[in-house]
Amino acid sequence: MNYKSICLLFLLFTFKIISAQQAHYPDKPNIHGMLLMGMETIYAEHLPMFHQPHDYQIILELEFSKADLEQYRTSRLAFPEEFVYTIEPEVFVLPEMVNQTKVFKANVYRGHFERGGFKLLDSISLKIKQVVYYKQFDKDNPRPVDLQYILFGNMKEQFLSHLISRKPDFHEVLSVKLSDVKQMKTDKSYQLLVLKERENRVPFSWSKSKAMILGTKRPVSFINHKQLYVEFGDLE
């Protein structure tokens, strides 16, 4: 095989790889806002909708630079009644960023970046340290019979996010404190909780419902809870 033939084969191989990657991520680039939570470990959850390219429920662990993390934490302490912090990332293809690229620029807002939030940090570098939860919506999947929440976090801070299934639905994120923090699995990034006898369009009412780990009869109880974010309109 001569040199020209080898070069031609190499180009064809490269083209096939690029084409396969493009076919694997058909979404168009866009801005994918995310809700921030946590003080010790920083988590971000994509603010989803049911249409492309926003039809994903994704929870990430992010890595800030030391200086940016300090400014973020200082703001949290100075404004304890402001629960909503969001990021406005640069334009990218969401599944490609989450699964491959891992590093992006973003503005950080105290409040919602599309609803009058205050820009706290401008065009900082963020790194995806861990993918906690990742799922694209499928309109053909049935809605769960019971209300379900994604439990994630660590021994110091725990969070719940409503498991979104199909329209109409809602997005709710809560900060919680487990009665028994040993129930936080160190070998798993998240657990699914199920709430029996609940109507699926109503956010979690702690006085009326008890949670169990999905697939088991193990109850989960909480010392306290705080609703950080709830959204119906984007998921109608």
Please report, in tens digits, the pLDDT of each residue of the chain (236 residues total).
Answer: 555 554 454 445 444 444 444 447 789 999 999 999 999 999 999 999 999 999 999 999 999 999 999 999 999 999 999 999 999 999 999 999 999 999 999 999 999 999 999 999 999 999 999 999 999 999 999 988 888 999 999 999 999 999 999 999 999 999 999 888 888 765 668 999 998 766 777 888 776 667 899 988 888 888 888 999 999 999 99
Q: Which residues of 139-161 are buried (b: 16+ CB within 10 A; e: fewer)?
A: eeeeeeeebbbbbbbeeebbbbb
Q: According to the model, what pLDDT value does residue 207 have?
A: 64
Q: According to the model, what pLDDT value does residue 20 have?
A: 44
Q: According to the model, what pLDDT value does residue 21 have?
A: 45
Cis peptide before 203 (omega within 30 of 0): no
Q: According to the model, what pLDDT value does residue 24 have?
A: 73
In the sheet with 158-162, reading across from the earlier edge strand, the strands are 219-220, 211-213, 191-195, 147-153, 158-162, 171-178, 222-231
107 beta partners: 88
Question: How much is the pTM?
Answer: 0.88
Q: According to the model, what pLDDT value does residue 203 have?
A: 86
Of 192, 203, 219, 199, residue with least CA distance to 146: 199
Q: According to the model, what pLDDT value does residue 201 have?
A: 77
Q: According to the model, what pLDDT value does residue 1 have?
A: 56
Six-digit token string for 159: 């969070």
Q: According to the model, what pLDDT value does residue 185 have?
A: 67
* H or E segment to which residue 85 belongs: strand 85-89
Q: Domain ranges in the chain?
A: 34-135, 139-235
